[in-house]
Amino acid sequence: MKPPPFDYHAPRSVGEALETLAGAGEHGKVLAGGQSLIPMLNMRLAAPGHLVDINRLTELDTLDVEPGGVRVGALARHARVERSEEVAAAQPLLCQALRLVAHPVIRNRGTVVGSLVHADPAAELPAVLALLGGSVRLARPGAVRDVPAAGFFTGLLESAAEPGELAVSAFFPLLPPRSGTAFREVARRHGDYALAGVAALVGLDDDLRITAARVACVSVGPAPVLVDVTEACGHRPPASADWASAARAVQERTAPEADIHATADYRRHLTGVLAQQALRDAAREALDA
Amino acid sequence: MTTKLFGEPVRRREDPRLLTGQGRYLDDLGGDALAAAFVRSPHAHARIRDIDVSAAIDVDGLVAIYTWEDLPALLAQPLPLLIPHPALTHGRTAHPLARDLVRHVGEPVVMVVARDRYLAEDACALIRVDYEILKPVVGVEEAAQSAQLVHGDVPGNVGAHLVQEVPSAAGLGAREAIETAPHTLAFRLDIERSASMPLEGRGVYARWDADDRSLRVYTSTQTSTSVRMAIAAKLGLPLPKVEVIAPDVGGGFGVKIVHPWPEEVLVPWAAILLDREVKWAEDRREHFVSSAHERAQVQSVRVGFDDDGRVLGLEVNILHDHGAYTPYGIIVPIITSTQLLGPYKIGAYRVEFSSIYTNTVQVTPYRGAGRPQAVFCMERTMDHIAAHLGADRTAVREVNFIRPDEFPYDQGLIFQDGRPLIYDSGDYPESLRMLKELIGWDSFPEAKAQAAAEGRRIGIGIGCYVEGTGVGPYEGGHVQITSDGRVHVSTGLTSQGQGHETVFAQIAAAELGVPLERVSVVTGDTRRFGYAVGTFASRAAVMSGNAIALACRKVREKALRIAADALEAAPGDLEIVDGEVRVLGAPGSSIPLATVAVLSNPLRYAFDEEAARATQFAGTSAFDRPPVEEGQEPGLEGRDYYSPLRSTFASGMHAAIVETDPLTAEIRILRYAVVHDCGNLINPMIVEGQIHGGVAQGVGGALYERMVYDEHGQLLNASFMDFLMPYATEIPRVETAHLQTPSPLNPLGIKGAGEAGVIPVSAVIASAIEDAEGIGIDRMPISPSDLFDLRRASTGRSTSET
């Protein structure tokens, strides 16, 4: 379990990093927190010719609450985001999700943007970005583009980031007024990737009736599965909403696969249970908002 | 009084070193050594057609590539079959490097030596092995019926077959006793594979001294003395020219008692051949596919019992999955079949096992060593009987217990050491009483009803076991008091973190009457002690503890004799307190042990002031006696051995309360209680630590860990990402109570404690889940997904209480 040979680059500026990545093209790989990449290298599951270490680029170590949302720089570690009171106030779902990401030592090193680019459908953060309708900012020499979540997760461990591009930040929009969020999951062990997990967002109108209800599910497809259940909930106050029907609607949209830890049926069952729990939690938060 | 040290919760002396990164594990040594890496078979069953190393030759830093064809005659043979047994009619072991066939994924085929491990792995990746893929045999029941053979000359894949039968007092055989019993039940049980999984894998580091023609090998082993003999034999070296040292070892749990591993002979061989230091440190992936697994068994049970639940006859048929090879013999299924009876008197018993080869990693003992399967079988049987009779589960156990006045109790079987299985002591009714009180067994139904009213499901479970510990043949101890007053203790068996430096020092300090701080302990270093068996079977405290105590007694006797001369008193009037020999009742009259040590060694040359007191003109000699009297030796030291008549039998009972989530089927352990009896306690804190660690491994085996092989013999979860070893977050707080029934078999009255914690956990958790769910549990481990399936399958049936 030692990585195959690669060229190591440690650029001192974003500009230099972009040039290096552009030069490496398909053979380049970005090293940020390394919590997924290093094991893949050691198991020789990945063999990039060039490793571009961005850990010296302090200009990417940013965390800003902007008027419209939270912008997380490429070097912001999970732990920093998780513990930020400003972020918790502006976008509580980020903290709710980050508490479920692996273990504290991994969160001390791993980065939010790195997790998004890794695009593991069992991970929490892609679901959060998808549910909130956030975006990822990708840069290459002389060009920057923002890719919305809906187009960012293109497949199992695949994102819209192209060879030579560096994800420099991610943007998580604020919640509308009178809305709440929740993240529920079941994992085999504390901190493991979830067997199933559901992030939920519920919005209410001035009469405290549900006007928006949607969920993003993890571990039930090649990418986060976003389901709008506003209709299924009915335009009713949370206390009389038809959560069971909403949960069924979620289950109908998911096609989990079996693996050594759980059958497909069990994952589908869990997704329904967790969807209902997460939607109720989110509605409660919305009422408190 | 220093003698109080025995039985005190002394803090572990090794912990400051081990917990602050000061430990020296195998891979901390030999920083400049060449690195070895292995090309291992990616196929479960294949014939090697050709090995092409040409692409690897150009790797910068490559030193050597070896295949089976390069091995000298002794190394080219199959590795030793360590524990032969008459019933193991078809024992088979692997070659150090595969000769022509590979029989499991992970079997070593080529050894590469390079400047560092990175380069060695680069070279491995470039070596092309051409395999003819053969059909693999996977799954113990499939293998038992398959025409496909793991070893062409082993019909039916049966390596061993053994029947033991104990008739009832009335002379009935088990089958007859079952047929004629008022009640009869039959069922089947499954236990899946797990493995020791020490945090430090295996590893070997060899240094050849070409000038001295001697070899020093460091290996992460549970038996350095026996590795030494194996290396000397396999490499044709004189034994005195080989020394083997177990450095700090990061866990063993059984897998490191197997030896010599291929790497343990190949790495020293390469070091000699290349005249360079060579090291190999196993990585996690290698550990999963090329070390050893355990546990997997399928059991068929038939039991006959009376209206009180008294077992009149029990018949158990075991299919034991032995993997591809049997280097450690059939110890595991022997232990399963003999320890199955636990604390019970069974009317008549018949047990039969077949040890079956499969194209998977070999099976050798893992902490518990066949007992978790045995206890699962017996305790599931007790629960089945209770359910059938509508009786309390503890009442059924109680009625079957061996009574305290029935010891020594002969179970009529032959144990793993080839000796009769005779329990030395115990008090099972008291143990059960303590456990019921600790967990609150009698008040649980109210708690369960209360939980049910809140929409929660909870259940309580119990499991009892008896564990043969401290098996022979022997261990030894050496104790030396030097002229600075320090006490140097050594024993040949090895340590893997159990706390030997602490407990052996406690024993020595208590026996000698010296402060603990003056005692140092060395284990597993053949330079210090050459005769030993090893650390396994919960035997270190019993075997080396008693040997060290006996050696201390020799030293004490000698010290008193020398001091008696110096103090002009009778030895019987002397005591040793705080490192001083004192005349009883005469406080002013004393002599430090340091001085006694000086006097014990008559000298010609004074190298310091202390030594001057023992020289020939110091005026201490009696001229009518030689300086070293006949029958005596210079020095204040002693060596002794402890070799028991038979094993000593520890016991215990565990109970757990679990909660199962009605919606998600998650299983949570709310409480876990242990009553444990290992005879006299040397250090209760260390015993509790052993129990906690054992329970944690047991929880792993009950709820998380399974080795998942597919039909091609590929291990699907060969990493810590998918092999679910529990974290601290999954382990409940363990509540413990100690019962002490001393063993009459050894001077210290102790029994082993190392494996105890793990043994009954699967049985206990199964019992508790069954109680919570009202669904029969007959296979472990059980996951939430499994429980979800069981619930679905039982829909329509009663889900109320059993």
Give the pLDDT score at A66.
95
- Residue B154 near chain A (CB below 8 Å): no
Which pair of structure tokens corresponds to residue B634?
Answer: 């210079």
Report whether pLDDT(B524) > 50. yes
Domain shared by B550 and B401, yes or no: no
Whether residue B800 is predicted with pLDDT greater than 50 in this model: the reply is no
Q: Is residue B610 part of a domain?
A: no
Confidence at B604, pLDDT banded by 50, 70, 90: confident
Mean pLDDT of chain B: 95
Kindly determine whether residue B784 and residue A186, on different chains, have CB atoms separated by under 8 Å. yes
Instruction: Determine contact, residues B262/B180, Cβ cutoff 8 Å.
Output: no
Instruction: Give pLDDT tens digits for B254-309.
Output: 999 999 999 999 999 999 999 999 999 999 999 999 999 999 999 999 999 999 99
- The reply to whether residue A273 touches residue B663, judged by beta carbons under 8 angstroms, is yes
Q: Which residues contact B455 (CB under 8 A, 6 or more apart)?
A: B662
CB A62 within 8 A of CB A170: no
State how far the Cα of B359 lies from the Cα of B146, in Å rounded to an integer: 12
Do B165 and B349 touch, CB atoms closer than 8 A? yes
Range of the domain at B532: 2-16+472-600+635-642
Say whether pLDDT at A154 is over 60.
yes
pLDDT band at B619 (very low <50, low <70, confident <90, very high): low
Q: What mean pLDDT value characterizes chain A?
A: 96
Residue B688 dihedral angles phi and psi, to the nearest 5°: -65, -40
B739 and B776 together in one domain: yes
- Contact list in A for residue B665 (CB cut-off 8 A) is 266
Element (H, E) at B39: strand B34-40
pLDDT: which is higher, B625 or A115:
A115
User: B interface mutation test: which of A38, A269, A271, A276 has the most B CBs within 10 A?
Assistant: A269
- Measured on CA atoms in the order B793, B797, B800, B802, is the torsion positive or negative? negative
Residue A40 CB burial class (10 angstroms; 0-12, 13-18, ≥19): middle
Q: A58-88: per-residue pLDDT in tens?
A: 999 999 999 999 999 999 999 999 999 999 9
Question: For position B286, what pLDDT does the model report?
Answer: 97
pLDDT band for B133, please (50, 70, 90 cuts): very high
The secondary element (H helix, E strand) that includes residue B770 is helix B761-773
Closest residue by Cα to residue B278 from B197, B200, B210, B208? B208
Strand partners, B111: B38, B66
Are B271 and B279 contacting, i.e. CB atoms less than 8 angstroms apart?
no
CA B545, CA B152: separation in Å to the nearest integer?
46
Residue B374 clears pLDDT 60, i.e. is over it: yes
Taking the C-alpha atoms of residue B672 and residue B699, their distance in angstroms, rounded to an integer, is 10
Please indicate, yes or no, if residue B286 is contained in any of the structural domains.
Answer: yes
Residues in B touching A243 (Cβ below 8 Å) = none
End-to-end CA separation in angstroms for chain B: 55
Q: Is residue B746 part of a domain?
A: yes
pLDDT, residue B799, reads: 38
Q: What is the pLDDT of residue A28?
A: 97
Q: Which two tokens stand for residue A12?
A: 């001192």
Residues B420 and B561 in one domain: no
Q: Are residues B482 and B464 in the same domain?
A: no
Contacts of residue A261 in chain B, CB cutoff 8 Å? 722, 724, 783, 785
List residues of chain A with CB under 8 Å from any CB of chain B: 1-5, 39, 43-44, 103, 186, 188-192, 195, 260-263, 265-266, 269-270, 273-274
Mean pLDDT of B344-356: 97
Are A261 and B283 in contact (CB < 8 Å)?
no
Average pLDDT over residues A37-65: 96
Q: What is the tally of helices (H) and strands (E) in chain B? A: 21, 29
Question: Of B205, B192, B211, nearest to B373 (Cα)?
Answer: B192
Token pair belonging to B360:
């998977």
H/E stretch holding B503 reads helix B500-512
| pLDDT value at residue B620 | 58
Which of B58, B284, B664 is the best residue to mutate to test the A interface, defined by the most A CB atoms within 10 Å of its own CB? Answer: B664
Check which CATH number belongs to the domain holding B408 and give it.
3.30.365.10
pLDDT recorded at residue A241: 93
Packed helices B761-773 and B684-699: angle between N→C axes, nearest 10 degrees: 60
B535, part of any domain: yes
Which of A251, A266, A276, A280 is most worth mutating to test chain B (most B CB atoms within 10 A of its CB)?
A266
Nearest CA-CA partner of B313 in B286, B343, B289, B344:
B344
| B416 CB-contact burial (10 Å; exposed 0-12 / middle 13-18 / buried 19+) | buried
Distance CA B332, CA B537 (A): 11
- pLDDT of B796: 56
pLDDT of residue A235: 86
Instruction: In whole angstroms, give the CA distance from residue B680 to residue B424.
Output: 14
- How far is Cα B503 from Cα B521, in angstroms, rounded to an integer? 10
In a domain, B179, yes or no: no
Q: Are residues B434 and B409 in the same domain?
A: yes
Helix%, strand%, coil% for chain B, nearest 5: 30, 25, 45
pLDDT at B627: 85
Residue from A100, A188, A243, A251 to probe the interface with B (highest B Cβ count within 10 Å) = A188
d(CA A201, CA A206): 17
Q: What would the DSSP string read from start to end of B100-156? A: SEE-STT-EEEEEEESSHHHHHHHHHH-EEEEEE-----SHHHHHH-SS-SSTTSGG
Confidence at B416, pLDDT banded by 50, 70, 90 = confident
Rounded distance between C-alpha atoms, residue B716 and residue B714, angstroms: 6
Distance CA A197, CA A123 (A): 9
Q: Is B788 on the interface with A (CB under 8 A)?
A: yes
* Fold (topology level) of A194-288: Enolase-like; domain 1 (3.30.390)
pLDDT of A115 > 70? The answer is yes
Same domain, B55 and B8: no
Residue of B nearest to A102 (CA): B721
Q: Same structural domain for residues B659 and B786?
A: yes
From the CA of B2, how many Å to the nearest CA of chain A?
44
Subunit contact A260:B717, Cβ cutoff 8 A? yes
Q: Are residues B657 and B688 in the same domain?
A: yes
**Residue B274 maps to a domain:** yes
B624 domain residue, yes or no? no
Tell me, what's the pLDDT at B421?
Answer: 94
**Res B1: pLDDT:** 37
The predicted-structure confidence for B375-401, as pLDDT tens digits, reads as follows 999 999 999 999 999 999 999 999 999
Q: How far apart are the first and last CA of chain A?
A: 50
Per-residue pLDDT at B609: 81
Please, which residues have CB within 8 angstroms of residue B797's CB and are 6 or more apart in sequence?
none
Q: Is B78 helix (H, G, I), strand (E, B) or coil?
A: coil
> Residues B154-192: pLDDT tens digits?
999 999 999 999 999 999 999 999 999 999 999 999 999
Whether residue B123 sits in one domain with residue B227:
yes
Q: Which two tokens stand for residue B359?
A: 């194209």
Q: Tell me the Ramachandran region of residue B625: left when phi exceeds 0, alpha when psi lies from -120 to 50, beta otherwise.
A: beta
The partner residue sitting opposite A269, judged by closest CB among B125, B727, B788, is B788
Position B613 in a domain: no
Q: Is B442's pLDDT higher than 80?
A: yes
Burial class of residue B345 (count of CB atoms within 10 Å of its CB; 0-12, 13-18, 19+): middle
For the segment A104-128, the average pLDDT, to the nearest whole number, is 97
CA A24 to chain centre: 27
The domain limits of chain A are: 7-47, 60-173, 194-288
Sort out which chain A residues have CB atoms less than 8 A from B117's CB and list them. Answer: 2
Is B724:A188 a contact under the CB 8 Å cutoff? yes
Of A2, A44, A273, the CB nearest to B664: A273
Mean pLDDT of A201-229: 95
DSSP B344: B
Taking an 8 Å cut-off on Cβ atoms, the answer to whether B666 and A192 are in contact is no
If asked whether residues B494 and B530 sit together in one domain, one would say: yes
Q: Is the peptide bond before B473 cis (omega within 30 degrees of 0)?
A: yes
Question: A60-173 — its CATH code?
Answer: 3.30.465.10
In chain A, the largest separation of any two C-alpha atoms, in whole Å, equals: 63
Q: Where are the alpha helices (DSSP H) in B221-370?
A: 224-235, 262-274, 284-290, 331-339
Domains in chain B: how many in total?
A: 3
- In this prediction, residues B30-46 reach a mean pLDDT of 98
Helix (H, G, I), strand (E, B) or coil at B48: strand
Q: Sheet harboring B487-491: ordered strands across?
A: B519-523, B487-491, B475-481, B636-642
The predicted-structure confidence for B684-696, as pLDDT tens digits, reads as follows: 999 999 999 999 9
Q: Which residues have C-beta within 8 Å of that of residue B173, sequence separation ≥ 6?
A: B165, B167, B348, B350
Task: Please answer yes or no on whether B724 and A190 come within 8 Å at the CB atom.
Answer: no
Partner-chain residue, chosen from B663, B724, B789, that has the shortest CB–CB distance to A188: B724
Q: What is the token pair recorded at B631?
A: 């029958």
Q: Chain A partners of B724 at a C-beta cutoff of 8 Å?
A: 188-189, 192, 261
Q: How many CB atoms lie within 10 A of CB A244?
A: 12
Give the separation between CA B109 and CA B43, rounded to whole angstroms: 11
B413 and B429 housed in the same domain: yes
Cα B328 off chain centre by: 13
B738-772 pLDDT tens trace: 999 999 999 999 999 999 999 999 999 999 999 99
Task: Indicate yes or no: CB of B784 within 8 angstroms of CB of A195.
Answer: yes
**Which residues in B751-770 are b (16+ Cβ under 10 Å) and which e?**
bbbbbbbbbbbbbbbbbbbb
CA atoms within 13 A on the CB side of B263: 31
Smallest CA-to-CA distance from A193 within A81, A275, A115 is with A115
In B, which residues are within 8 Å of A103 by CB distance? 727
Interchain contact, B789 vs A263, CB within 8 Å? yes
- The reply to whether residue B789 touches residue A266, judged by beta carbons under 8 angstroms, is yes
Q: State the DSSP string of B397-458.
A: HHHHBPPGGG-SEEEEEE-TTSSEEEE----HHHHHHHHHHHHTTTTHHHHHHHHHHTT-EE
CA distance B276 to chain A (A): 22
DSSP chain A: --PPP-EEE--SSHHHHHHHHHHHGGGEEEESS-TTHHHHHHTTS---SEEEE-TT-GGG--EEEETTEEEEETT-BHHHHHH-HHHHHH-HHHHHHHTTSS-HHHHHH-BHHHHHHHT-TTSHHHHHHHHHT-EEEEEETTEEEEEEHHHHEEETTEESPPTT-EEEEEEEEPPPSSEEEEEEEEESSTTSPEEEEEEEEEEE-TTS-EEEEEEEEESSSSS-EEEE-HHHH-SS-GGG--HHHHHHHHHHH------SS--HHHHHHHHHHHHHHHHHHHHHHHHH-
The pLDDT score that the predictor gives to residue B801 is 32
B117, B664, B729 member nearest A2 (Cβ): B117
